[in-house]
Amino acid sequence: MPPKAKISKEMIVNAAVDVARKSGADSINARIVSQELNCSTQPVMYHFATIEELKKAAYSAADEYHTNYLLNTSSQDDPMLGIGLNYIRFAVEEPNLFRFLFQSGFVKEKSILDIIDSDELAPVLSAFRQKLGMSMEQTKDIFLTLGLFTHGYASIVANYSMDYDETTIAAQLERVFEGAVMAVQKEDKQ
Protein backbone atom coordinates (compact mmCIF):
# COMPACT_ATOMS: atom_id res chain seq x y z
CA MET A 1 0.00 0.00 0.00
CA PRO A 2 1.53 3.36 -1.03
CA PRO A 3 1.94 6.01 1.68
CA LYS A 4 -0.74 8.68 1.84
CA ALA A 5 0.17 12.03 0.33
CA LYS A 6 1.06 14.57 2.98
CA ILE A 7 -1.02 17.70 3.11
CA SER A 8 1.22 20.68 3.80
CA LYS A 9 0.32 23.92 5.50
CA GLU A 10 0.89 25.71 2.19
CA MET A 11 -1.52 23.36 0.40
CA ILE A 12 -4.17 24.10 3.03
CA VAL A 13 -3.67 27.87 2.72
CA ASN A 14 -3.87 27.66 -1.08
CA ALA A 15 -7.06 25.59 -0.80
CA ALA A 16 -8.54 28.17 1.59
CA VAL A 17 -7.74 30.93 -0.91
CA ASP A 18 -9.43 28.88 -3.63
CA VAL A 19 -12.50 28.48 -1.40
CA ALA A 20 -12.56 32.24 -0.80
CA ARG A 21 -12.14 32.84 -4.53
CA LYS A 22 -15.05 30.55 -5.45
CA SER A 23 -17.55 31.23 -2.70
CA GLY A 24 -16.26 33.94 -0.39
CA ALA A 25 -14.25 34.04 2.82
CA ASP A 26 -17.25 33.08 4.94
CA SER A 27 -17.10 29.66 3.28
CA ILE A 28 -13.64 28.90 4.67
CA ASN A 29 -14.02 26.12 7.22
CA ALA A 30 -12.24 22.83 7.92
CA ARG A 31 -14.83 20.71 6.10
CA ILE A 32 -14.90 22.75 2.89
CA VAL A 33 -11.12 23.25 2.76
CA SER A 34 -10.57 19.52 3.32
CA GLN A 35 -13.06 18.77 0.52
CA GLU A 36 -11.06 21.09 -1.73
CA LEU A 37 -7.96 19.02 -0.90
CA ASN A 38 -9.81 15.70 -1.06
CA CYS A 39 -8.71 14.78 2.46
CA SER A 40 -10.10 14.56 5.96
CA THR A 41 -10.34 17.57 8.23
CA GLN A 42 -7.46 16.24 10.35
CA PRO A 43 -4.61 17.89 8.34
CA VAL A 44 -6.44 21.23 8.41
CA MET A 45 -6.92 21.10 12.16
CA TYR A 46 -3.37 19.81 12.68
CA HIS A 47 -1.81 22.83 10.95
CA PHE A 48 -4.30 25.43 12.19
CA ALA A 49 -5.57 25.55 15.75
CA THR A 50 -8.55 27.68 14.70
CA ILE A 51 -10.35 28.57 11.50
CA GLU A 52 -9.61 32.22 12.29
CA GLU A 53 -5.89 31.38 12.09
CA LEU A 54 -6.47 29.67 8.73
CA LYS A 55 -8.42 32.67 7.44
CA LYS A 56 -5.59 35.01 8.47
CA ALA A 57 -3.06 32.83 6.61
CA ALA A 58 -5.35 32.75 3.56
CA TYR A 59 -5.75 36.51 3.80
CA SER A 60 -1.95 36.98 3.74
CA ALA A 61 -1.62 34.69 0.71
CA ALA A 62 -4.45 36.48 -1.11
CA ASP A 63 -2.85 39.85 -0.26
CA GLU A 64 0.47 38.73 -1.75
CA TYR A 65 -1.33 37.51 -4.88
CA HIS A 66 -3.13 40.86 -5.10
CA THR A 67 0.12 42.84 -4.84
CA ASN A 68 1.72 40.77 -7.61
CA TYR A 69 -1.40 41.24 -9.71
CA LEU A 70 -1.22 45.03 -9.26
CA LEU A 71 2.43 45.23 -10.22
CA ASN A 72 2.00 43.24 -13.44
CA THR A 73 1.84 46.31 -15.65
CA SER A 74 4.16 45.14 -18.42
CA SER A 75 1.44 45.59 -21.05
CA GLN A 76 0.75 49.20 -19.99
CA ASP A 77 2.55 52.26 -21.36
CA ASP A 78 2.03 54.02 -18.03
CA PRO A 79 2.68 51.88 -14.94
CA MET A 80 0.73 54.33 -12.76
CA LEU A 81 -2.39 53.91 -14.86
CA GLY A 82 -1.65 50.18 -15.10
CA ILE A 83 -1.64 49.72 -11.33
CA GLY A 84 -4.92 51.62 -10.96
CA LEU A 85 -6.58 49.68 -13.76
CA ASN A 86 -5.24 46.40 -12.36
CA TYR A 87 -6.75 47.26 -8.98
CA ILE A 88 -10.18 47.70 -10.54
CA ARG A 89 -9.70 44.76 -12.92
CA PHE A 90 -8.87 42.56 -9.91
CA ALA A 91 -12.24 43.50 -8.40
CA VAL A 92 -13.91 42.51 -11.68
CA GLU A 93 -12.05 39.22 -12.12
CA GLU A 94 -11.78 38.23 -8.45
CA PRO A 95 -14.77 39.82 -6.68
CA ASN A 96 -14.78 37.33 -3.80
CA LEU A 97 -11.05 37.79 -3.17
CA PHE A 98 -11.46 41.57 -3.40
CA ARG A 99 -14.22 41.46 -0.79
CA PHE A 100 -12.09 39.15 1.37
CA LEU A 101 -9.14 41.55 1.20
CA PHE A 102 -10.98 44.82 1.64
CA GLN A 103 -14.44 44.22 3.05
CA SER A 104 -14.12 41.33 5.50
CA GLY A 105 -12.54 42.95 8.53
CA PHE A 106 -9.19 41.17 8.11
CA VAL A 107 -7.28 44.33 7.22
CA LYS A 108 -4.88 44.77 10.12
CA GLU A 109 -4.34 48.50 9.56
CA LYS A 110 -6.85 50.72 11.34
CA SER A 111 -6.56 53.90 9.27
CA ILE A 112 -5.85 54.93 5.71
CA LEU A 113 -2.49 56.34 6.85
CA ASP A 114 -1.60 52.96 8.39
CA ILE A 115 -2.34 51.32 5.04
CA ILE A 116 -0.12 53.77 3.17
CA ASP A 117 2.74 53.05 5.59
CA SER A 118 2.27 49.25 5.50
CA ASP A 119 5.00 46.93 4.27
CA GLU A 120 2.57 45.34 1.81
CA LEU A 121 2.14 48.63 -0.04
CA ALA A 122 5.87 49.43 -0.24
CA PRO A 123 6.41 47.81 -3.70
CA VAL A 124 3.45 49.70 -5.17
CA LEU A 125 4.62 53.02 -3.71
CA SER A 126 8.14 52.39 -4.99
CA ALA A 127 6.80 51.86 -8.51
CA PHE A 128 4.77 55.09 -8.21
CA ARG A 129 7.72 57.04 -6.83
CA GLN A 130 10.00 55.86 -9.63
CA LYS A 131 7.47 57.02 -12.24
CA LEU A 132 6.81 60.36 -10.52
CA GLY A 133 10.37 61.29 -9.65
CA MET A 134 9.07 62.87 -6.44
CA SER A 135 9.74 62.39 -2.74
CA MET A 136 8.09 59.50 -0.93
CA GLU A 137 5.85 61.92 1.01
CA GLN A 138 4.65 63.51 -2.24
CA THR A 139 4.14 60.07 -3.73
CA LYS A 140 2.07 59.00 -0.72
CA ASP A 141 -0.12 62.12 -1.04
CA ILE A 142 -0.78 61.42 -4.71
CA PHE A 143 -1.32 57.73 -4.06
CA LEU A 144 -3.83 58.49 -1.31
CA THR A 145 -6.00 60.54 -3.67
CA LEU A 146 -5.72 58.07 -6.53
CA GLY A 147 -6.11 55.10 -4.20
CA LEU A 148 -9.32 56.32 -2.64
CA PHE A 149 -10.84 56.99 -6.06
CA THR A 150 -9.67 53.63 -7.42
CA HIS A 151 -10.87 51.72 -4.36
CA GLY A 152 -14.29 53.33 -4.66
CA TYR A 153 -14.59 52.27 -8.29
CA ALA A 154 -13.34 48.76 -7.50
CA SER A 155 -15.75 48.37 -4.57
CA ILE A 156 -18.72 49.34 -6.70
CA VAL A 157 -17.68 46.92 -9.45
CA ALA A 158 -16.88 44.06 -7.01
CA ASN A 159 -20.33 44.36 -5.52
CA TYR A 160 -22.00 44.18 -8.94
CA SER A 161 -23.35 47.70 -8.80
CA MET A 162 -21.75 48.92 -12.02
CA ASP A 163 -20.51 47.49 -15.29
CA TYR A 164 -16.78 47.58 -15.99
CA ASP A 165 -15.92 50.06 -18.74
CA GLU A 166 -12.12 50.22 -18.96
CA THR A 167 -12.02 53.16 -21.37
CA THR A 168 -14.12 55.38 -19.12
CA ILE A 169 -12.29 54.23 -15.99
CA ALA A 170 -8.87 54.84 -17.57
CA ALA A 171 -9.87 58.38 -18.56
CA GLN A 172 -11.13 59.12 -15.04
CA LEU A 173 -8.01 57.63 -13.43
CA GLU A 174 -5.80 59.82 -15.61
CA ARG A 175 -7.83 62.89 -14.64
CA VAL A 176 -7.63 62.11 -10.91
CA PHE A 177 -3.90 61.36 -11.17
CA GLU A 178 -3.14 64.60 -13.01
CA GLY A 179 -5.22 66.57 -10.52
CA ALA A 180 -3.46 64.95 -7.55
CA VAL A 181 -0.03 65.70 -9.03
CA MET A 182 -0.99 69.33 -9.67
CA ALA A 183 -2.34 69.68 -6.12
CA VAL A 184 0.89 68.32 -4.60
CA GLN A 185 3.02 70.56 -6.81
CA LYS A 186 0.90 73.58 -5.86
CA GLU A 187 1.25 72.78 -2.14
CA ASP A 188 5.04 72.51 -2.50
CA LYS A 189 5.23 75.96 -4.11
CA GLN A 190 3.40 77.57 -1.20
Nearest to 174, CA basis, from 137, 134, 142:
142
Q: Any idea where the domains of the chain sit in the sequence?
A: 1-60, 72-189
- pLDDT per position as a tens digit, 45-101: 999 999 999 999 999 999 999 988 988 876 666 777 888 899 999 999 999 999 999
Q: What is the pTM of this model?
A: 0.84
- pLDDT per position as a tens digit, 93-135: 999 999 999 988 877 767 777 878 888 788 878 877 888 888 8
CATH fold of the domain at 1-60:
Arc Repressor Mutant, subunit A (1.10.10)
